[in-house]
A and B are shown apart, each in its own frame.
Chain A
């Protein structure tokens, strides 16, 4: 390296927009959780000081629920609703909104129209027939959905929008054009001029996430927590296809998957678990993307690095990828006593035995 050939400092490699979207979503979710209206103070000290007002508040809330059913938002000023890790629901006038987990929306009235601004995530809207009343409107990015009485779902991931109609008819206005989406149909900003039938989609490989959009799964809110109750997603992720090599599906139950909880950093582990499950669901449709995702996950230090690296290696073997042997070797070097080590050794032996044929 002479003066003329100076390499200089390494370039700062940019982060992908999808990664930034994940970071941003995580930050807002954390901030939203911190600003939750009711917090239980730690420790037993002065419990009576908070117990009295809490009891009073609970009594008022119970009274409201008993007299009015589900909480109903005020209609004369904007209200922002944010769901946490579990789905939630809210009434808006005579309409009902079921929010997926990690969804945020603002409800208001614009020129007498009940209006919802979907900031992120996805929600089902059940709107009573409007008859002579102003249309119900949902804004999501550049898309505007006008409703005259129906049940429909809107999903948003950044600027990608998807609308799915269960009953009735909605008009979707998007960048100057308007399309009508009827019952059993779905529209996406990815293909704004095309209306697809939900039934047709249901027979195709399912999306990795329950959000109806065609946005990359990595950019949509994480709804993969199996314990989260709430409205069932339209498309349940199918188990990935069985491995051609091992004869069983990944992710495997039992030893190949680490425990879901990690006292050291549960947030990271939960994210990694969700990412692993997403990749497993993605594998049948897009094995290359899944393999790349597994490798990214394997570079981490969470417990999911082990199954992710093995899954990458196994997938590479299935696809006769030339990296298979290298990946298996790295797996065994990194996790010699790992949950998949026995399988990895068998696969490696098989790959090495097949080498003459490959060449």
Chain B
């Protein structure tokens, strides 16, 4: 079950807060910019993490995303929440990054020491391995399909939310998720662990 984002204000108050914060930050008020950064960093990080699958190389993308956010602030009109608006920009930054990069050939995470010894260790290792396989497969599918799948299936967002974040229609998102799922299942044909994890994800609430 995806973690719910904190909602700190009633809708109208939240909108006013967002607009005021965006207005002040857009004028170059460093205190407001910092407040916005602190408020939205988890939001932006979550979107990027879900799409990219790990914190590797995420610092540069976070920096790019926030720079884009601050550049675009004058265009924020409060039509959506500031959080959603920031995530939209983060998704766009992630899309550009995925489109440019080549998949790594070796996952260095494999050489890290695993020191935990509690009862959750087995589950932790399972999730980690399954996640690695899932994102390795996602690395090889088209960027838009990957983003739609990551946000809708892995992060549990509704198709309408994903459509808003990616500036697409719900139908387009539905198609992309379907195609991504079909491609992943094809790749999972020889990977029982990946297939089991895909079934696991699809079986959960979304």
A24 to B41, CA, bound (A): 10
Q: Tell me, rounded to whole Å, the shortest Cβ–Cβ distance linking B51 to chain A.
A: 11
- Set of chain A residues within 8 Å of B70, measured between Cβ atoms: 27, 31
User: By the criterion CB–CB under 8 Å, are B105 and A334 in contact?
Assistant: yes
User: By the criterion CB–CB under 8 Å, are B66 and A27 in contact?
Assistant: yes
- Set of chain A residues within 8 Å of B156, measured between Cβ atoms: 9
Q: Tell me, rounded to whole Å, the shortest Cβ–Cβ distance linking B95 to chain A.
A: 17
Interface residues as binary, B25-62 with A (CB distance below 8 Å gives 1, 0 otherwise): 00010100110010001000110011001111111101
User: By the criterion CB–CB under 8 Å, are A27 and B204 in contact?
Assistant: no
Interface residues as binary, A33-74 with B (CB distance below 8 Å gives 1, 0 otherwise): 011000000000000000000000000000000000000000
Residue B111 lies at the interface, judged by CB distance under 8 Å to chain A:
yes
A11 to B33, CA, bound (A): 28
User: By the criterion CB–CB under 8 Å, are B154 and A23 in contact?
Assistant: no
Tally of A-B Cβ pairs under 8 angstroms: 105
Using A15-B55, A30-B67, A268-B60 as known contacts, say yes or no to A8 and B108 having CB atoms under 8 A apart. Answer: no
- Set of chain A residues within 8 Å of B37, measured between Cβ atoms: 24, 27
Using A23-B66, A326-B111 as known contacts, say yes or no to A299 and B56 having CB atoms under 8 A apart. Answer: yes
- Set of chain A residues within 8 Å of B28, measured between Cβ atoms: 31, 35
Interface residues of A, CB < 8 Å — how many? Answer: 39
* Chain B residues touching A, range: 35 or more
A333 to B67, CA, bound (A): 36
Interface centre among A3, A28, A295 (most CB of B within 10 A): A28
Q: Tell me, rounded to whole Å, the shortest Cβ–Cβ distance linking A219 to chain B.
A: 13
Residue B127 lies at the interface, judged by CB distance under 8 Å to chain A:
yes
Residue A12 lies at the interface, judged by CB distance under 8 Å to chain B:
yes
Residue B196 lies at the interface, judged by CB distance under 8 Å to chain A:
yes
> Taking CB as reference atom, which chain A residue is nearest B196?
A1
Using A23-B62, A23-B63, A323-B111 as known contacts, say yes or no to A7 and B106 having CB atoms under 8 A apart. Answer: no
Q: Tell me, rounded to whole Å, the shortest Cβ–Cβ distance linking B87 to chain A.
A: 13
Tell me the interface secondary structure of chain A in the complex: helix
A196 to B37, CA, bound (A): 36
- Which residues of chain B in 188-206 are interfacial with respect to chain A, using CB atoms and an 8 Å cutoff? 196-197, 199-201, 203-204
- Which residues of chain B in 100-140 are interfacial with respect to chain A, using CB atoms and an 8 Å cutoff? 101-102, 104-106, 108-109, 111-113, 123, 126-128, 130-131, 134
User: By the criterion CB–CB under 8 Å, are A27 and B200 in contact?
Assistant: no
User: By the criterion CB–CB under 8 Å, are A31 and B106 in contact?
Assistant: no
Residue A301 lies at the interface, judged by CB distance under 8 Å to chain B:
yes
User: By the criterion CB–CB under 8 Å, are A15 and B58 in contact?
Assistant: yes
Q: Tell me, rounded to whole Å, the shortest Cβ–Cβ distance linking A127 to chain B.
A: 26
Residue B2 lies at the interface, judged by CB distance under 8 Å to chain A:
yes
User: By the criterion CB–CB under 8 Å, are A301 and B57 in contact?
Assistant: yes
Using A23-B62, A333-B106 as known contacts, say yes or no to A9 and B55 having CB atoms under 8 A apart. Answer: no
User: By the criterion CB–CB under 8 Å, are B33 and A298 in contact?
Assistant: no
Residue B6 lies at the interface, judged by CB distance under 8 Å to chain A:
no
- Set of chain B residues within 8 Å of A271, measured between Cβ atoms: 60
Residue A330 lies at the interface, judged by CB distance under 8 Å to chain B:
yes
List residues of B whose CB falls within 8 A of some A CB: 1-3, 28, 30, 33-34, 37, 41, 45-46, 49-50, 53-60, 62-63, 66-67, 70-71, 101-102, 104-106, 108-109, 111-113, 123, 126-128, 130-131, 134, 154-156, 196-197, 199-201, 203-204
